Amino acid sequence: MVRKMGVYAVLGYILYGLFFYWYLFYFSDTNLPFEYEGSKADPSTFLNGRELMLSEEYSKIRNLLFFLSTPFEWLFYFLILLFGFSKAFKNWAENSSKYKLLQTAIYLIWLSFFAYLATFPLSYISFSLSKTYNISTQSFASWMKDELIDFWLNYGTWLIIVPVLYWLMKKSQKRWWLYGWLLSIPFTLFMMFLQPVVIDPLYHDFYPLKNKELETKILTLADKAEIPAQHVFEVNMSDETNALNAYVTGIGSNARIVLWDTTLNKLTDSQILFIMAHEMCHYVEKHIYFGIAGYLLISLLGLYLTYRIMNWVTKRWGNELKISDTRDIRSLPLFFMVLSMLLFAASPITNFTSRYQETRADKYAIEMTKNPEAAITSFQELTRSGLSQVNPPLLVKVFRYTHPSMLDRISMLENYEIKHRKK
């Protein structure tokens, strides 16, 4: 039975991968609808033939890697349970220490290490792909440094969460999910507060914007939006990527507006001001706080469903998966697998909400700057630098895109330009 379940799981993953390969490379149509041909959203009007070819190739491969990566984690955790590795990790931990907390730490390091090894090939392929298409300028050593920081940050975070989670399971088998969620609220807020000043600087160097003339323009815009901003931060990304970006991070007094230096190097002041006005909308309309509230709501539902699914799976296939009780640390791979599945299933909803907020920010920015030409050309440059698809396939948009497609964004701006040109 165990061997059969393993074979079915692997075959299911292969069929899933073949479906998405067929969907992305043969079935989906990324050509622009007829009515958009020749418009400013048409990539053939601002990309040359080579850039058009590369953007299609790169996007298809990158999207395939995305759809392969998350279900591969599910397969890994399933096989870890099925073939008794989780039980072995627990035995190694118990033989290494008599202290419960240290046993959990040892179990977790084994599980984390094997998970990292299993997912490393796909991560490396993604890194190599971005290097091949000249998106990434990062050296392998620098990339490995970031990978190791990710590994230890994730390990440290789970080392805090897992002992508390399983302690709650033993104290309250039926309500642990609720108590765990209540504890996650201050933890989430604390981590978001720390993000800009503790976690982000582990990866990159942040400093106040060097171009003081541009900073004055941005702060004038912020004052117009009634934002009490004193600094705009830039981050050194040119050693790692040719892509462009700007974002808002953190909460409360630690909230920051951040510009990549690649954005500063490739865009004009008027284009940057549009992007800054976009980011200011997230602050003005409190999108960060709505995002936190939405995340906490989804996490409450997710933990409850995880509790129900874990109990159901353990009762039905506990013997095959070597799990006698969900309160046993051996069930942790099942917890990770179910949680990941639920997050993936929820991504169409979270992405839709994010796209709505980003559309609001685009409209706010163009109303504030009233410079559609700068806005349109900034999005065209973002498309070129990231080799993005202007009109992505439906499933890619639904499961991947937290921002509207460039077709939607540029078309909206072009309509604004036409409408105000007539006045």
Known catalytic residue: 226? no
Q: DSSP label at 143?
A: H
CA distances, 324 to each of 167, 181, 317, 334, 414 (Å) = 17, 24, 9, 12, 61
Q: Is 235 exposed, middle or buried (0-12, 13-18, 19+ CB in 10 A)?
A: buried
For 135-145, the pLDDT digits (tens) are 999 999 999 99
Query: Within 10 Å of residue 30's Cβ, how many Cβ atoms?
Result: 17
Q: Which long-range contacts (CB under 8 A, 24 or more apart) does 78-83 make?
A: 78/9, 78/333, 78/337, 79/6, 79/9, 80/111, 80/114, 80/333, 81/321, 81/322, 81/323, 81/330, 81/333, 81/334, 82/2, 82/5, 82/6, 82/9, 82/320, 82/321, 82/322, 83/2, 83/6
pLDDT given at position 345 = 95
pLDDT: is 338 or 192 the higher one? 338
Are 405 and 391 in contact by the 8 Å Cβ rule? The answer is yes
Query: CA–CA separation, 248 vs 285, rounded Å?
Result: 12
pLDDT for 313 equals: 94
Q: What is the pLDDT of residue 252?
A: 62
Residue 373 has pLDDT above 80, yes or no: yes
Q: From 277, 257, 258, select the one nearest 362 (Cα to Cα).
A: 277
Which of 213, 279, 373, 381 is labelled catalytic?
279
> Would the pLDDT of 423 be above 60?
no
Query: Rounded to an integer, what distance in angstroms lies between the CA atom of residue 210 and that of residue 187?
Result: 34
What is the pLDDT averaged over residues 353-380?
Answer: 94
Tell if the pTM clears 0.75, that is, is over it.
Answer: yes
Phi/psi region, residue 199 (left: phi>0; alpha: psi -120 to 50; beta: rest), is: alpha
- Find out whether 145 and 138 touch, Cβ atoms under 8 Å: no
pLDDT digits (tens, 9 = 90+) for 344-360: 999 999 999 999 999 99
What pLDDT sits at residue 229? 66
Closest CA to 339 of 89, 170, 161: 161
In tens, the pLDDT along 255-300 reads 677 888 899 989 999 999 999 999 889 888 888 889 889 999 999 9
Q: Which residues make Cβ contacts (< 8 Å) with residue 75, sequence separation at least 6?
A: 9, 10, 13
Average pLDDT, the chain: 90
